[in-house]
Amino acid sequence: MIADETAQISVVICFFYICDYLYYIIFIMKILSGKFKGRNFYMPGHIRPTQNIIRKALFDIIGHDLEGIDFLELFAGSGGVGLEALSNGADSAVMVDRDPKCTDTIRTNMSLFQPENDSQVNDEYNVMEMDAFVAVKFLVKQCRKFHVLFCDPPYEMELAKKVLKTLDAYDILHTNCVVVIEHSKREKLPENTGKFSLVKRRKYGKSFLAVYESKIVK
């Protein structure tokens, strides 16, 4: 009996060690386009990444010439989409995630892309370790505005609608902005909100991209 209980305890301990390992393991992905095309970057093993096909589709939609564009990525994970934006010429990219492992990974990724003794890349990006909705309020207080916002919240939390409501309430986007949200089939997003209209919805496997534009166009 004691031997059986000891064996069960050993299995449980082993399980937790495996879970801890999977949390910290890091996978390698590649930049798909732009000046950093083909360069590797890291992704924490405990998150669901934005798939290559979706990352490619996103930039086919918003364009590959992002000169003059300020880019905001919420629920950034590895920062892969923000990195892709910088690779395609974005003036700046702010990447937000509340998970310290993710923000550490983003900083590591940016250090790989920054030439020695060159501060330009460092000046182009900013990593914010905080809740996405808190970050939006903080950015409003900082008078920051963005031309493109991408977010890929955890599917199981169904936060996409909350993102849209938050963007309706807080003015962090320029006129003629684009908002792109990756979401699951389970979460149904509205065609219109107070400030935004749905202009495209594309399906990629079990994931969807919903593309919104501002109703106020100058």
Give me 49's structure tokens.
């990444």
Give me 122's structure tokens.
């460092």
pLDDT tens across the length of the chain (218 residues): 444 444 443 433 333 333 443 444 467 889 999 999 999 998 887 777 678 888 999 999 999 999 999 999 999 999 999 999 999 999 999 999 999 999 999 999 988 887 554 545 455 679 999 999 999 999 999 999 999 999 999 888 889 999 999 999 999 999 999 999 999 989 999 999 999 999 999 999 889 999 999 987 65
210 lies in a domain?
yes
12 lies in a domain?
no
Q: Which domain holds residue 139?
A: 28-214
Cβ-contact 139, 166 below 8 angstroms: no
Residue 77: give its domain's CATH number. 3.40.50.150
Q: What are the b/e assignments for 60-95, b being 16+ CB within 10 Å?
A: eebeeebeebbbbbbbbbbbbbbbbbbbbebebbbb
Q: How many separate domains does the chain show? A: 1
1 lies in a domain?
no
**DSSP secondary structure code for residue 144 in this structure:** -
21 lies in a domain?
no
pTM comes to 0.84
19 lies in a domain?
no
